[in-house]
Amino acid sequence: MGGLTFLTAIAIPNSVPIQFNLGWLSLIAILMVVITAIGAIVPMRTVAKIDPATVIGG
C-alpha cells in the first residue's frame, strides 16, 4: 500500500465502507501522467512551429 493510501485508510473511520485497490490506483496514476504529457506536448509542437521574428514583427 502506498503512503498516502495508508494514511487515508488510517484517517477514515472503520464504519465507512471503503476498499483500496492498489492495481487500479496505480493504473489511474500512470494514465494521468501519460495524458498530462500528451497535453503538454501538443501545445509545445504548435508553439515550436511559429517563427519568433514573424510574431515580433521583425
Binned at pLDDT 50, 70 and 90, residue 39 comes out as very high
- Per-residue pLDDT tens digits for 8-35: 878 888 787 877 788 998 999 999 999 9
More reliable by pLDDT, 9 or 43: 43
Q: Under a CB-based contact definition with an 8 Å cutoff, are residues 20 and 1 in contact?
A: yes
How far apart are alpha carbons 13 and 23 in whole angstroms?
23
- Grid cell in block for residue 37: 504529457
Domain boundaries, given as residue ranges, for the chain: 21-51
Q: Under a CB-based contact definition with an 8 Å cutoff, are residues 6 and 25 in contact?
A: no
Q: What percent of the chain has pLDDT over 90?
A: 29
Q: Which of 37, 29, 32 is nearest to 2 (CA)?
A: 29
Separation of CA 37 from chain center: 8
Binned at pLDDT 50, 70 and 90, residue 36 comes out as very high
